[in-house]
Amino acid sequence: MNQERPLHRSSVRELRDAVASGERSAEEVTRAHLDRIRETDGDWNAFIHVADDAALAAAQAVDQRRSAGEPARALEGVPVAIKDQIVTKGIPTTAGSRMLKGFVPPYDATVVERLRAAGAIIIGKTNQDEFAMGSSNENSAHGPCANPWDGTRVPGGSSGGSAAAVAGGQVPLALGTDTGGSIRQPASLCGVVGLKPTYGRVSRRGAIAFASSLDQIGPLGRTVEDVALGLEVLAGADSRDSTCSTEPVQDYSAQIEEGIAGLRVGLPEEYFGEGIEPGVLDSVREGVRRLEAEGAVVQPVRLPHTEYSIATYYLLATAEASSNLARYDGIRYGHRAEGEDLGLEELYAQTRAEGFGPEVRRRIMLGTFALSSGYYDAFYDKAQRVRTLIRDDFVAAFEQVDVLATPTSPVVAFPRGSRVDDPLQMYLMDIFTLSASLAGLPGISVPCGFSDGLPVGLQLLAAPLQESMLLRAARAHERQFADAGAWPGEGGP
Amino acid sequence: MSDWETVIGLEVHAQLSTATKIFSACPHGGAQGPNQNVDPVSLGLPGTLPVLNRDVVRGAVMMGLATGSTIASVCRFARKHYFYPDLPKGYQISQFDEPICEHGFVNIPLAGGGEKRIGITRIHMEDDAGKTVHDPQRGVSRVDYNRAGVPLIEIVSEPELSHPDEVVAYLKILHRIVRFLGISDGNMEVGNFRCDANISLRPVGSEVLGTRAELKNMNSFRNVHRALIHEVERQRRVLEGGGEVVQETRLWDDVAARTETMRSKEDAHDYRYFNDPDLLPIHLDEDWIRELKASLPELPAEREARYRDTLGLGAYDAGVLTGSPELADYYDAVIGVPGTDPKKAANWVSTELLGQLAREDKDIGESPVSPAQLARILALMEEGTISSKMAKEVFDRVFREGIEPDAVVAEVGGQITDSDQLLKIVREVIGENPSQADQYREGKTQVLGFFVGRVMAATRGKANPPLVNELLKKELDA
């Protein structure tokens, strides 16, 4: 391990090996990251809750295991931040909403159970757009989160806090949730690696539901290997999630160096059209050339129903959200409107008007409408059928190519406040990530260059359960990318 | 004034007595206080997901098979949305356009004899809500989530019931089926078996259904009957007064004995059904259904037919004995003892045993007389050791004291069948009543009964009656 470099700049692999070998204690590693958070988070606001005491206690327990001679586990002593959308036993969990202020879950999400069992240290809960609805982290009841590359700009969303925390060295690994791009888009804007696994690859149990048929938990890290190490722990069957796949989990981190000679990479024409910033387009094309340099064969492909993805997504996701968020009624937990003589209807209305922010309220109303009697066929049902067409596009494309390469986001990180007044402009931020979500495909965003000093992400997509191939391609790109692992503010481009 | 035809369709909810709730490993039943049987899933806590309990599918399929329904090869769960404090998720997980069973039927007995076939539109699975308890004096409401997530099957009938009597007969048939299948305890008082009724009237001969009212909150067969009689009358008065029935939901008020508006059509919910994305479509394996069908217990109607046709019981006894699986099993255990006469056994079970149990307010499961003991009493009677009169005394003592029939007989002595011993008594009785003896000899033979009574009294009922008759005739005719 590099002794010159501050501990918080180590990778997951380095930290795990240092703790496993006894070179570093888990407590030392944890304290270094807690210090880093304390120093920086006043500026960034990447964390909603830092679980100092619980993290140190967990680290000490890891150290005791080590001194008792127990074998080292997959993420022994590695600090991990959890998006506030994911429930953590005994640690406040709000999904970035006033509605869940003070809610302390009595159980751990399956992914959190798995992280703890792998020796990871749960260090805190990261900032996000409320209930994962947003692309800038500006819809958070806990205030916006800054982009470590430029504090006046957004980190993307909804997993903005997780992306910023990883980008700024507060943690080497963080969990996000991705419903329409909420891992990949902030990873792109913050210059980190973010993976949305295949729908069902990782258990959703404990991920507070936004849109159940789309939601997926995934890791964000600074290197492809770190993300692969994270996925190995997160992925796998869960008898408590009916939609979770029982397919065996692969040794992703061992397979990433296998190379991509002959890999067929498709460039969907629909993803390289208008509306993309020129600097983004240049960097993405540069990224594609790196894949070619590693032996990939590039060809154009068509995904003809791409133009319907935004409409389809915003009908289905809001419909499911209107249902999933019905449980927040102020009766059992969370925010409850005060008032002496509130009738039941008034209590509901007032509680939900106060507890939810404007974007969440907007989506609940849209979704309620889409499911309403008389409108169901025209909206929800039709969107379901278009979703099938979008999925079929990908099925056809993956008969010709192994991987698709696209921009993750049409733009780099934008200034805070510049797009909040126009929800439709904000919805366009997800234009390149939505289709893969609708099709349930795995997707990864990797840093591929800079535009005006801000990171640009390359998105790679693959067929269901092809995470290993995706990570292999991402790693091949990383090998060729000279600025991989660049830190904000220092030695950057 | 026209004559009116009543049209009633029923939605029956039966709680399934599975070990755990429908969508989680949380136990249900036997809670000592409110909110004891709860877990994150049944409370609908953020992040929780439903996982279907296979036993619920089994129960629903069994009910489908027992009612001749078509079992779907694929069925789905859908979310049904409405807000209420005892509904933790803001939606109920039910089935909408792809239920597990469709197109079934049951036959109900008609009061005037014969049967009527009632179609079952569908049977579907869903989760129950909790219970809200209002305390108006303290101005608070409390919610108990013990029941939230308890599995239900909903059995929806065709609108083919045309009188409250038929409704009760239909309910009893369904109740008996779930009890015999062992899938529900069917307790109506606590709401484990409950129904909503859709009721409308139309002029006799009309093909068009009238506007219906939905009736809720009837927690016994008796209340169902009372509520429907009342509602039929109410609608008849409205229609005959030239008014129109309003489509609405009405609640039966047991104490006031009337129905009142709960929710008008304008306030009806838009349930916004859509397929639940947390649950996969359920593929029902044909082999599994075949196995379930083969392993179905004997259904109450089949059992009733067996009692009637094979054992020769009367329709009334056959109906009584198949009133509950426990009773039918008891009866079968009695006649399972070799040599037991099925008709006598039926008579004893339905009269003596049920009579005694009713007087002591006990269930058949609490009977102090075991099937083997009852069979023994019948056998003692059959072999002549005790008379039928003595048998009742033996039965009473077994029932009250819990002792064996043979012990009672040993204690009080068996029937007197010794001719010499009886002849002595017969001669004494004739000697003590010379005038009656003369009457007999003068041809007034009905006086024989008087002598029989005297002999029985002298022997405290233990004399064998045929032998007494024979001896008396011989002595008097001599």
Percent of chain A topping pLDDT 90: 92
Residue B348 lies in a domain: yes
Q: In angstroms, what CA-CA distances link A443 with A187, A405, A458, A473, B1?
A: 12, 10, 10, 11, 74
CB-closest option in A103, A207, A326 to B91? A326
Mean pLDDT of B307-311: 94
Verify that B198 and B132 share a domain, yes or no.
Answer: yes
**Per the CB < 8 Å rule, is A204 touching B49?**
yes
Backbone angles phi, psi at A188, to 5 degrees: -60, -50
Domains of chain A: 8-302+397-480 (3.90.1300.10)
Residue B106 lies in a domain: yes
List A10, A11, A25, A83, catalytic entry: A83
CB-closest option in B46, B83, B273 to A348? B83
Give contacts of B276 with chain A, Cβ < 8 Å.
Answer: 212
Verify that B348 and B223 share a domain, yes or no.
Answer: no
Give buried/exposed letters for A171-196 (b at 16+ CB in 10 A, else e).
bbbbbbbbbbbbbbbbbbbbbbbbbb
Percent of chain B topping pLDDT 70: 99
Nearest to A452 by CA among A285, A283, A222: A283
Backbone angles phi, psi at B432, to 5 degrees: -80, -15
* B133-168 confidence digits (pLDDT tens): 988 888 888 999 999 999 999 999 999 999 999 999
Give the list of residues 6+ apart from residue A212 with CB closer than 8 angstroms, or none: A204, A243, A320, A324, B276, B277, B278
pLDDT of residue A2: 61
Interface residues on B facing A, Cβ-Cβ cutoff 8 A: 40, 43-52, 79, 81, 83, 85, 88-91, 143, 270, 272-274, 276-280
pLDDT of residue A490: 63
Verify that B252 and B383 share a domain, yes or no.
Answer: no
Number of domains in chain B: 3
Give contacts of B278 with chain A, Cβ < 8 Å.
Answer: 209, 212, 242-243
Structure-token pair, residue A136: 């800038």
Mean pLDDT of A344-373: 95
**Per the CB < 8 Å rule, is A327 touching B88?**
yes
* A249-273 confidence digits (pLDDT tens): 999 999 999 999 999 999 999 999 8
3-state secondary structure string across B416-452? ECCHHHHHHHHHHHHHHCHHHHHHHHCCCHHHHHHHH
pLDDT band at A493 (very low <50, low <70, confident <90, very high): very low
pLDDT of residue A492: 41
Start-to-end Cα distance in chain A: 26
Count of CA atoms in the C-beta half-sphere (13 A) of B100: 27
Backbone angles phi, psi at B260, to 5 degrees: -140, 155
Examine the residue annotation and report whether A83 is marked as an active-site residue of this protein: yes
For chain B, give the mean pLDDT.
91
Which chain B residue lies closest to A245 (C-alpha atoms)?
A: B280
- CATH number of the domain encompassing residue B428: 1.10.10.410
- What single string gives the DSSP state of each residue in B372-417? HHHHHHHHHHHTTSS-HHHHHHHHHHHHHH---HHHHHHHH---B-
Q: Domain range spanning residue B233?
A: 4-288
Verify that B148 and B277 share a domain, yes or no.
Answer: yes
Give contacts of B270 with chain A, Cβ < 8 Å.
Answer: 372-373
Residue B30 lies in a domain: yes
Verify that B267 and B359 share a domain, yes or no.
Answer: no
CA of residue B171 relative to chain centroid, distance:
9
**Per the CB < 8 Å rule, is A323 touching B88?**
no
* B171-210 confidence digits (pLDDT tens): 999 999 999 999 999 998 888 999 999 999 999 988 899 9
State which of B219, B254, B288 marks the end of a domain.
B288
Residue B321 lies in a domain: yes
CB-closest option in B47, B51, B277 to A207? B47
Verify that B251 and B280 share a domain, yes or no.
Answer: yes
Q: Please count the residue pairs, one from chain A and one from chain B, whose beta carbons lie less than 8 angstroms apart.
A: 94
Examine the residue annotation and report whether A97 is marked as an active-site residue of this protein: no
* B210-223 confidence digits (pLDDT tens): 999 999 888 899 99
Verify that B176 and B223 share a domain, yes or no.
Answer: yes
For chain A, give the mean pLDDT.
95
B332, burial (CB in 10 Å: exposed 0-12, middle 13-18, buried 19+): middle
Give the list of residues 6+ apart from residue B177 with CB closer than 8 angstroms, or none: B63, B66, B67, B106, B299, B300
If residue A63 lies in a helix (H) or strand (E), which one and from where to where? helix A52-67
**Residue A372 sits at the chain B interface (C-beta within 8 Å):** yes
If residue B250 lies in a helix (H) or strand (E), which one and from where to where? strand B248-253
Verify that B332 and B271 share a domain, yes or no.
Answer: no
Q: In angstroms, what CA-CA distances link A179 with A83, A310, A435?
A: 13, 13, 11
Verify that B174 and B67 share a domain, yes or no.
Answer: yes
pLDDT of residue A365: 96
User: What one-character DSSP code corresponds to residue A248?
Assistant: P
pLDDT of residue A1: 58
Residue B293 lies in a domain: no
Verify that B177 and B124 share a domain, yes or no.
Answer: yes
Query: How far is A489 from A168, CA to CA, in rounded Å?
Result: 10
CB-closest option in B52, B83, B278 to A212? B278
Examine the residue annotation and report whether A196 is marked as an active-site residue of this protein: no
**Per the CB < 8 Å rule, is B51 touching A240?**
yes
Whole-structure pTM value? 0.91
Structure-token pair, residue B125: 């699975």
* A168-182 confidence digits (pLDDT tens): 999 999 999 999 999
Q: ipTM above 0.90?
A: yes
pLDDT of residue A491: 43
Verify that B111 and B256 share a domain, yes or no.
Answer: yes
pLDDT of residue A463: 98
CB-closest option in B79, B88, B91 to A332? B88
Query: How far is B27 from B9, CA to CA, in rounded Å?
Result: 33
**Residue A240 sits at the chain B interface (C-beta within 8 Å):** yes
* A403-436 confidence digits (pLDDT tens): 999 999 999 999 999 988 877 777 778 889 999 9
State which of B288, B306, B339 marks the end of a domain.
B288
Verify that B173 and B28 share a domain, yes or no.
Answer: yes
Which chain B residue lies closest to A319 (C-alpha atoms)?
A: B274
pLDDT of residue B2: 64
* A105-155 confidence digits (pLDDT tens): 999 999 999 999 999 999 999 999 999 999 999 999 999 999 999 999 999
Q: In angstroms, what CA-CA distances link A278 with A275, A281, A430, B305?
A: 9, 5, 18, 84
Give contacts of A326 with chain B, Cβ < 8 Å.
Answer: 81, 83, 89-91
State which of B288, B322, B343 marks the end of a domain.
B288
pLDDT band at B414 (very low <50, low <70, confident <90, very high): low
User: What one-character DSSP code corresponds to residue B103?
Assistant: E
Start-to-end Cα distance in chain B: 78
Mean pLDDT of B96-108: 97
